[in-house]
Structure 1
Amino acid sequence: MPLDLHNQISVLMDILSNQQTDCCGTVAECEQLERLVKSMLSNDNLSSEAKNVLMDVYQYSQNGKYSAHLDEHILSHQQDISRWIDDIHQLS
Structure 2
Amino acid sequence: MTVHKDPNTNKWFYSVRVENVHGEKVHKKKRGFDKKKDALIAQQKFLETYDTEIEAQYTFREIAERFMQYSNGRKKETTIYNQNNLINHILKLHR
Q: Same fold (TM over 0.5)?
A: no
Please state which structure has a larger fraction of its residues in strand: 2
TM norm structure 2: 0.30
TM norm structure 1: 0.31
Please state which structure has a larger fraction of its residues in helix: 1
